[in-house]
Structure 1
Amino acid sequence: MLDEASHFLGYTVVSTLIYLSSLLYAFKTQESKAPDVTDLSFRNMDFAMNLYRRISRHHDNNIIFSPLSVSVSLATLLLAAGGSTRAQIAGGLNLASLDDDDDEVIPQLFQDLLRNISLIQQNTALFVDHRFDLEQVFSHQVKRFFGADVIGVEFGKTDVARDIINDYISKKTGGKVREMVKSVEPLTQMMLINTVFFKGDWQRLFDPNSTEPGRFYVDKYNIVQVPLMFAEDKFFTTEDGDVGARVLRLPYRGGASLLIVLPDASVDYTAIEDEITAERIFRWIKKMKPVKMEVHVPKFQLEQRYGMHELLPHLGISSVFHHSANLTGLSKDVGVKVSQVMHTAVMDVDETGTTAASATSAGITTYSLPTTFRVDRPFFFFLYHEATHSLLFMGRVIDPTKNSQ
């Protein structure tokens, strides 16, 4: 029987696809310690913030993307890249220090990471044209490390190829991303696609009967009305006086959490963007304490699409997009390069679900923090896997009434 009270259900989904064509068509790893998934997650956070800052320079709108999806897609190409192309990919991913003489170290770390994150549905697929001579070693490795599907298509039949790929993406993302591929060039040789789908119930109850319209201050001159959801319970929180922000952790059932970083009312969110690093995020998580408080969080839906091939060169990943790219591990064909890297992410936070979450039994300690956490102005969010600290999704909400720009 349906429970009267329901809790948040968060949907986050992302797809990254790479087009390839040819001319013819204190958390740092100690030196004595082998790198592990925590090292990978730490470095991926800094890569995520570097990418975020490149995206944010282009506009002041909402942002959402999946660092995990982008990283997995590029790490897949590491299996095929050599020379400066490989060095650029590893460097841009902030993984150069892990890329030693053993070319399988980074793919192995990603394999270990993905095995640990059982709460997401992550899929990698290679759509390969029948004319493309894909190296068997690469095909085996991408299956071994990333569990990839290798699917043959005929890109010359552009509409058929587009429909096959979009159908695959739709199925793997629970129907959240339906038409990622708008068109297909007939000379395309291969598409590499990574999808991540996350669906989570919050541990703590939010009573939909307590949701009320509230003001959200987009900036000094623009105020919008949004549904603000409400809960009173024990929440982990902390303050960062150095940057002027408060941090709230909202845990999902199953081992993931959403960090909401709310700049102080007197602080412009743009002043904080350059200060967020992996070390700071780890510090926030470590310093959090349980406090009984009232929490008001807006409902919101986000969907964004990015051409990563326009952003990644600013992070030092450029040669892979040129005819001189060294992707000989992918194919011995002359002039194989990456033509596009498209990324689409969707996030949906609303009041669906029927299973009541149980409250924790942790004791309450009194701290000098306000008893109300009201998210009524632009904020950042970081959805991460608790055991590995892997950053699954991140972004900012400037105006929760806008789905996409």
Structure 2
Amino acid sequence: MKMGILLVLACASFLVPVSKAQDASLNITELTTKNMDFAMNLYRKISSYHDKNIFFSPLCISTAFATLSMGAEGLTREEIIKGLNLNLLERDGQPELIPELFQQLQGNITLNGELQLDQGTALFVRLDFEVEKTFGDQIKKFFNADIQNIDFANAKASKATINDYIKRMTGDRVMEAVSDIDPFTQLMLINTIFFQGKWELPFDPKHTENDRFHVDKYNLVQVPMMFREDKYYHASDNSLKVKVLRLPYEGDIAMLILLPNKGVDYTSIDDEISAEHFLGWVKQLKKTKLEVQVPKFKMDQSYAMHKILPHLGIASVFENTANLSGLSREQGLKVSEVLHKAVIEVDEKGTRAAAVTVTGMTGYSLPTSFVVNRPFFFFIYHEITNSLLFMGRVIDPTKM
């Protein structure tokens, strides 16, 4: 009988702004670019299932699987690294290079003490389960991971212990990430990310008023629309027919809003979103005085990644052919489930959330307003490293 490993990825974000720290190394830049393209590929796969709101943390997911890859061998490891879009970063004789890059990235992101970004990795294992010492040492070294023994046979108590851990690590934002536990579970790998930030240019609640949001050509909803007039960085991509707005947080984080032009279906943008375009948008941002209107919204999204990731090439780790011999000598290990849960709340004070082709691009000349009153995309990223922490799309701000 195959023994299942359950991965739970819980993400909560509360956003923050930018001060310049030391330049990121080229290797970290390569890592963040590759992770960004992984995020776009994952977004497209998720979006193919429905036309609703989407929110997830690509950094949370890639960190969890980078951790798991250290216990994988052969085809299983190759699929994980390639699926994460990190295969081009591999170097012969340097098996620890990718984990080192994740470690350096985390250090660069948190270098500025103003930023609250907490990532956590924990391994909950069966009482008599033996983790390979090398694997245990490596995940402790690179991901500061905790390994805790737990009695999965006592499903109620183990579920409470794990959910309490996730709740604590995400600032009480992610609740009941694990709804039930199979008593035959061998191991659970938990990765959390928690980010809280305040707008550098906060919105005055007195100026927030209900206004129309065009879900599509035929449906309108009333939403609380925040308003502020100030100097903002923004741009226009004429080739894709989208506008871009940067909303900075206090620290080194910003939200980039991608708003399709009026009359442009957001689905026409899906296939064009890439790291190259994202970096191009950031490069072309120009500062000017602008009236900004952005809806308040909350989202609580959950995804069964074990059903999605095989479409990105990460398949054998979920099958009976999985090779996780670097994690444990126990026979028959495979990953049974990967649960990813992410929550976000955007209001006047800031954001709370618990995962270039420059042709045709110009800065706005003298726009007067940037009104986000139709479906849009958003990206929360670390500005110094261009690391994408969270991304999503809002079709209907009144839906969770």
TM-score normalised by length of structure 2: 0.89
The whole-number CA distance in structure 2 between the counterparts of 1:97 and 1:225 is 47
User: 1:111 maps to which residue?
Assistant: 103
Letter in 1 for 2:222: Q
Amino acid at match of 1:62: N
C-alpha distance in structure 2 between counterparts of 1:110 and 1:206, whole Å: 34
Contact 1:35 1:98 in 2 (8 A): no
User: Which position in structure 2 is the counterpart of 1:168?
Assistant: 165
- 1:30 match: none
- Deviation track 1:127-157 (CA, whole Å, cap 9, x = no partner) reads 0111211101101100000011111101111
CA displacement at 1:336 relative to structure 2? 0.8
1:310 maps to what in 2?
Answer: 307
Question: 2:300·2:343 contact (CA, 8 Å) conserved in 1?
Answer: yes
Report the alpha carbon displacement of residue 242 of structure 1 after superposing the two structures with TM.
0.7
| Residue in structure 2 matched with residue 69 of structure 1 by the alignment | 60
Contact 1:157 1:186 in 2 (8 A): yes
User: Is the Cα–Cα contact under 8 Å of residues 202 and 348 in structure 2 kept in the other structure?
Assistant: no
Which residue is equivalent to 1:237? 234
Structure 1 stretches of at least 4 aligned residues deviating more than 2 Å after TM superposition: 366-370
Cα offset for 1:369?
Answer: 4.7
Instruction: Tell me the equivalent position of 1:194.
Output: 191
The CA distance in 2 between the partners of 1:35 and 1:342, in whole Å, is: 32
Unmatched runs of 5 consecutive residues or more in structure 1 = 1-14, 18-33, 354-365
Distance between the aligned counterparts of 1:75 and 1:132, measured in 2? 21
Where 2:165 maps in the other structure, the secondary structure is helix
Q: In the alignment, which of 322, 325, 332 is matched to residue 329 of structure 2?
A: 332
| Residue type of the alignment partner of 2:80 | I
Question: Which runs of structure 2 are paired with 1:372-383 in the superposition (5 Å)?
Answer: 372-383=369-380
Aligned length: 362
Q: Which amino acid aligns with 1:288?
A: L
Q: After superposition, give the CA deviation of every residue in 1:179-210 in whole Å (9 maximum; x if it has no partner).
A: 00001101101100011111100001311111
Does structure 1 residue 46 correspond to structure 2 residue 43? no
Cα drift, residue 258 of structure 1:
0.1
Of 115, 130, 139, the residue aligned with 2:136 is 139
In 2, the alpha carbon distance for the partners of 1:72 and 1:115 equals: 14
Q: Which residues of 2 match residues 14-163 of structure 1 at below 5 A?
A: 16=9, 36-101=27-92, 102-118=94-110, 119=115, 120-163=117-160
1:244-259 matches, within 5 Å, as 244-259=241-256
Q: What's the CA shift string for 1:188-242, capped at 9, x where partnerless?
A: 0110001111110000131111111110000011000001000000000000011
Residue 10 of structure 1 is matched in structure 2 by none
Matching residue of 1:396: 393
Instruction: Specify whether residues 207 and 35 from structure 1 end up closer, same or farther in structure 2 by C-alpha distance, changes over 3 A only.
Output: closer
> How far off is 1:326 after superposition?
1.0
Contact 1:305/1:344 (<8 A) preserved: yes
In the alignment, the residues of structure 2 paired with residue 369 and residue 58 of structure 1 have an alpha-carbon distance, to the nearest angstrom, of 39
In structure 2, what is the equivalent of residue 283 of structure 1? 280
Provide the rounded CA distance (Å) in 1 between the counterparts of 2:366 and 2:49: 35
Contact 1:201 1:252 in 2 (8 A): yes
**Contact 2:234-2:364 at 8 Å conserved across structures:** no
Distance in 2, Cα, partners of 1:255 & 1:16 = 24
- In structure 2, give the amino acid aligned to 1:224: V
Please tell me whether the aligned partners of residues 237 and 290 of structure 1 are also in contact (alpha carbons under 8 angstroms). yes
C-alpha distance in structure 2 between counterparts of 1:170 and 1:338, whole Å: 23
TM-score when normalising by structure 1: 0.87
Give the root-mean-square deviation of aligned CA atoms.
Answer: 1.4
